[in-house]
Amino acid sequence: KGKPIVFRTLDIGGDKVLSYYHNAQEQNPGMGLRSIRFSLKNKQVFAQQIRAILPAGYEADLRIMFPMISSISEFIEAKEVVNKCIEELSKAGIKHNDKPKLGIMVELPSVVYLIDDFAEIVDFFSLGTNDFIQFMLGVDRTNENVESFYVPHHPAVIRGLKAVIDGALAKGKEVSICGDMAKQKEYAKLLIGMGLRTMSIEPIFMADIQRMINEIDIAEVQELAKKVLEQSTTEKIASLLGISEN
């Protein structure tokens, strides 16, 4: 009661598979018909989920988050599905939340360059770091042969995250982060220094992260973030963060 509840819409595809859905084989499923792309191609399934979420979120601080959004047009199309479901539930006399907040997961580099436009129409953002790193660096995070190229502290990744955080906060929109970066203290400290204030992490990691947050000096982590953002190599960033690259 009184706390926000966030539903991420169906995030099928890539390394996320459904036991009841046998999709056609794709050569590169990580970049195929997945997440919001699947939902917008299968609107009957998408609408069914939305029609379940809205009544469940009646009189709640309800938030609906669309994964793997790549364009303004996709968000608008997804929003139209939500609005249509609200209209249908109203006509049917079913109690529901008719004003859910709508947000997106930032997983694709295209959003970085559109962040100011998204911040005008989106209610909140969630940085999905696992996929964000994968697509920013062109590295399949499930492929052991290229795992050494999957580097969260790559300067392009760090600067991309900073751009999204700044763009969201400039328009007064909440931005949170999820994925492996949020649960690692070295990265969490950096993210706080870059302005992030909301993290989504597994309960098992919460105590350590909370302890770290209680102990940090904001001015110090802001200075750390400034130094990190000035670097152009992973080696220098790793040294500043105290991360071993071996």
In tens, the pLDDT along 177-227 reads: 999 999 999 999 999 999 999 999 999 999 999 999 999 999 999 999 999
* Model confidence at 147: pLDDT above 80: yes
Check residue 140 and give its pLDDT. 86
CA distance 35 to 32: 9
Check residue 52 and give its pLDDT. 97
Check residue 162 and give its pLDDT. 98
Averaged pLDDT for residues 163-179:
96
Confirm if 7 and 61 have CB atoms less than 8 A apart. Answer: no
Check residue 25 and give its pLDDT. 61
Q: How confident is the model at residue 245 (pLDDT cuts 50, 70, 90)?
A: confident
How many other CB atoms sit within 10 Å of the CB of residue 71? 14
Q: What is the pLDDT of residues 71-114, one digit of tens each?
A: 999 999 999 999 999 999 999 999 999 999 999 999 999 999 99
Let me know if 136 is exposed, middle or buried by CB neighbors in 10 A (0-12, 13-18, 19+). buried
**Could you tell me the CA-to-CA distances from 28 to 24, 32, 86, 139, 202 in Å, in that order?**
11, 6, 35, 12, 29
Check residue 24 and give its pLDDT. 56
Averaged pLDDT for residues 39-59:
94
Check residue 55 and give its pLDDT. 97
Check residue 21 and give its pLDDT. 60
